Amino acid sequence: LPKKELTLPTNRCGFIPKEARWYNTGKLSNFMAYKLRTQITDDSVQDFLASIEDDQKREDCYRMLDIMQEVTGCEPKMWGKNIVGLGSYHYVYSSGQEGDWMLTGFSPRKSYLSVYLMSGMVGKNMTENLNKLGKHKMGKSCLNINKLSDVDEEILRQLIKDSVQVMRDKYPTTC
């Protein structure tokens, strides 16, 4: 079959779901190139945050932005329509698949705030810190919290810092 550029579907964390990764022979290398739907945009982060209707969620997002800027030293950018990302890293997989993704970020969802810890559960004291964090749910790289007051902010800051350091050690990164 001819190779062609495809835009693969992504889940809410921006990753390609397992069922979309395999094509014909079961190898992603059948794709000449693919493009994630979630890309950096020129949209204003401040306008996006100001548009959040729920006062508590908006305040939590401004606080999360402050924390992430302090930890990364990076300026925020919109990734897609509703993800605030800071920094980026370039990955290349053994299959030849490569791309750029945010170093860390967050997205206000209807009933929770998703914090993107791109290292997943890899990092110094990650499990121990998650156990001390407070009320949360953890996906592969998505830490979901209802509101910042539910968690220990210093532990959250440390989780973000550790995740960012793992990514900076593993991949070329930029701000």
Please give the pLDDT value at position 11. Answer: 53
- The tens digit of pLDDT for each residue in 105-152 reads 999 999 999 999 988 767 678 889 999 999 999 888 899 999 999 999
Alpha helices (H) along 18-82: 18-21, 45-50, 55-72
Residue 10 pLDDT more than 90? no
pLDDT in tens, 22-70: 444 445 444 445 566 788 899 999 999 999 999 999 999 999 999 999 9
The confidence score (pLDDT) of residue 24 equals: 41
pTM: 0.78
CB 106 within 8 A of CB 68: yes
pLDDT at 35: 64
Cα 170 from Cα 89, distance rounded (Å)? 9
